[in-house]
Amino acid sequence: MATTLVATTEATFARQILRADCPVLVCFGVRTCPARRALLPILTRIAVAFQGQLRVATVLLDDAPLLAEQYGIVASPTLGVFHHGERQGQVVGFIPEGLVQVLADEVCHGAVSGDTRWSPCEERFETAVIIPLLAQWGFTVERQVPCVLPSHPTAHRGRIDLLVYEHPSSPPVTLIESKRQIRHAQDLRQAVRQAATYAHSLALASFVIAAPRGLWIYRCGDAGAVCERHVTSLALHQTPELPRHLLLQLRAGGAAA
């Protein structure tokens, strides 16, 4: 099996994808799309890492309008999983390399089925993407930290997904609330309410909502939480240090420029 990306067209799609003897991960995208271009080196590494278990292919939607119509592809890039002639799942938009690895691993183990949007469980998302990113920033982290909310009528006890420190002996910089997916404004509002309550109980200057689409960084204040910046997964891939600087600035009492 080839260890490089398979360029697929409308004429070859049935043979290379639908009749393949193994699962296939297909990247549908527009030629000029920056997110598609950023995914290509990642997909090449995935093809090498999963040689013999998974085929990785690309389809240029510019030249394949019939495939776009057939599979309802409306965004670039869209990752589609195909096996036994059927689409088994899809991911819309750029996702970090760690999540592409998780997706490929789940595909190879038969854990992706049904023509639905795929998303990782929160624990795998944290392990594959968020914790390595924090380590890259020089931060340390505690997972599933118990937190008592004294303002709650029954002194409710919750758990913080990730509590983040610049130094293990110093107070925390921020906390992170992880979500499998943020698809709608209501999803984000619910996550913000929960994270803001935890951040207030610990007197933190900020909190972060993390999902495959990126990071939402919030400043805590007397008037409530304010979103300082949404860093998309593509922007995070291109400038991974940006959130670190903002979080340290917020801890020092500043705000985004």
**pLDDT tens per residue, range 66-77:** 999 999 999 999
Residue 112 near residue 81, CB atoms below 8 Å? yes
Share above pLDDT 90 across residues of the chain, in percent, rounded to a whole number: 84
Q: Which two tokens stand for residue 166?
A: 């610049």
Q: Tell me whether residue 116 is in a domain.
A: no
Identify which has the larger pLDDT, 255 or 131: 131
Within-domain flag for 26: yes
Find the domain containing 92 and state its range: 6-108
Over range 95-104, report the average pLDDT.
Answer: 97
Residue 149: predicted pLDDT:
67
Residues 6 or more apart whose CB falls under 8 angstroms from that of 33 comprise 76, 77
Report if residue 256 sits inside a domain. no
202 within domain boundaries: yes
Tally of residues, the chain:
257
Phi–psi pair at 167, nearest 5 degrees: -135, 140
Which whole number is the average pLDDT over 17-42? 97
d(CA 143, CA 168): 13
Residue 115 maps to a domain = no
Choice between 254 and 119, residue whose per-residue pLDDT is larger? 119
**Structural domain count of the chain:** 2
Residues 150 and 33 in one domain: no
* pTM beyond cutoff 0.95: no
